[in-house]
A and B are shown apart, each in its own frame.
Chain A
Amino acid sequence: MGCEAMRAVICAGPPTSGKTTVLKHVVRRMQREGLKIAYLKVDVQYADEDEIFAKEFGIPVKKVYSGELCPDHCNVMVLGDAMEWAEGEGTDFLIVETAGLCFRCSPYIEGAPGIVVLEATSGMNLPRKIGPMLTLADMAVVTKIDLVSQAEREVFRSRIMETSPGMNVVETNALYGIGIDRVIRYIKASAPLKYPMFLRGNPPVGTCTICVGKKEIGWKQHFGVLRPLEGDMFYRGE
């Protein structure tokens, strides 16, 4: 597979929901199939998952802290560069793991599978609370199913279906890695990325270029406070 065919996956979910554990199973198995994976972690103020992935799998990794910036804004800014970087590494799949953001935006982009990871232990109302992070995803992976009653698992799933009819729901047992094969099959069936890339859904009312509706990926397409993958944020305006 050459650079032209690179594909990407955006994985989001509330903190501690098990995104990293799920993705580790995914990377391990995809790597076993001979696929080249790169990993980008976007978080607000702390993350060490990039080091974990680099150490465990020896794959190219990067990490970005959104810091003072709105994390979704940061995501839009850096993804364009990140795709270029991953393509430069000769990657088949770029896996982007992002923190649970503000529940008003979603980090998914058109043309790349969007996966939300939710823990069954987080309460049955969670699917009703997190808005587009769930409803704009293609697949919902439910973790920690061994810790809750069968009854609550079923209610949790039904609440996901209620907010997102037709959602592809996968229950996983991270201990055994059960259910991961379905996630991988889905990722592998995705199409190569097409440029320009656009954010899914409509951001909330606001005043930054993304908030006012400019959805094209990459900081070069925006004004105001910008942030490339490498280097600090800066201001560009007229």
Chain B
Amino acid sequence: MGIEKITVIGGIGKDGEQEPLSVVEFRMGDIVSIVGPTGCGKTTLINDIELFADIDTPSRRKVLINGETRPEEFALDPSKNPIALISQHTNFLSDLPVDEFLRIHAEIRKTGDPDQLVAETLGFANQLTGEPINPKSAMTELSGGQTRSLLIADAVIVGNAPVILLDEIENAGIHRTKALELLRGYRKIFIFVTHDPRIALLSDYRIVMSNGAMQRLIITDQEERSVANEIRKIDDLLLELRGIIRTGGRIAAGEITGRLEAIGWDVRP
């Protein structure tokens, strides 16, 4: 089915009170972040969305698709479910080789030519990982970052899900900027649960949560977009330093000052 929008009708927070944000609408093509301190209910919110909560979860939220309650077929057949959730717990448990598993999934999904889908999925995943994935490896042998990269690639390409929920991908050991850049190439609703300012400010808007409730919706304005650019530079600098350490290098005393100046920051007293 074609998805135009997903609507979340607010329920109750941890205190049993009505959520301040009573309705949120996600439209096709939106990139959204959900922010808030640990334990504030971010994961619960995306679980509600994934399950198409119908006042039957502890939050009492209701989730609509194109303005209507979820069709029964989503519950009957998960491959019809338009939402893919990549949670912090999601894992591959199968010890099939990566290429064989992707092929099986592609054959079930029937979204295109299986060989081509497998190649595209591996290509996508490998742009997000440090070490490329060996297609003959068992899925359970993949590293954490490789697993997460493959989960995302599989959901986007083989699953072709129109709505993708990603829980804290910054902790997944994958190339975030590359991920966002690649994901922007696909027209979907992306919802990130994140603590990462870079991801949050690259989103079109963000939902602020506390105490189990959706508190506010903040649209990323022009000013924040320019701040996002500065955050990107600093973040890239940290990634470069990480790269140096990773490849066995050392970091000299004046290194940071020099690098900050190189990106336009005057840090000398």
Contact = CB atoms under 8 A, between A and B. Distances in A.
Given A149-B91, A178-B56, A155 B154 contact: no
B158 interface: yes
Contact of B57 (A121, A147, A176): A176
Interface string B79-114: 101001101011111101000011011001100000
Contact of B51 (A148, A154, A176): A176
Contact of B78 (A121, A146, A171): A171
Interface string A107-148: 000000000000001011000000000000000000001111
A149 B108 contact: no
A179 B56 CA distance: 10
B92 A150 contact: no
Given A151-B101, A171-B75, A123 B93 contact: yes
A146 B87 contact: yes
A146 to B, nearest CB: 7
A150 B159 contact: yes
Interface string A149-176: 1111111011000000000011101001
Interface residues of B, number: 33
Nearest to A120: B93
Contacts of A182: 75
A199 B104 CA distance: 36
B170 to A, nearest CB: 20
B51 A157 contact: no
A145 B90 CA distance: 9
A154 B89 contact: no
B155 interface: yes
Contacts of A123: 93-94
B85 to A, nearest CB: 7
Contacts of A145: 78
Given A148-B91, A152-B93, A178-B51, A158 B57 contact: no
Interface of B: 47, 51, 56-58, 75-79, 81, 84-85, 87, 89-94, 96, 101-102, 104-105, 108-109, 151, 154-155, 158-159, 161
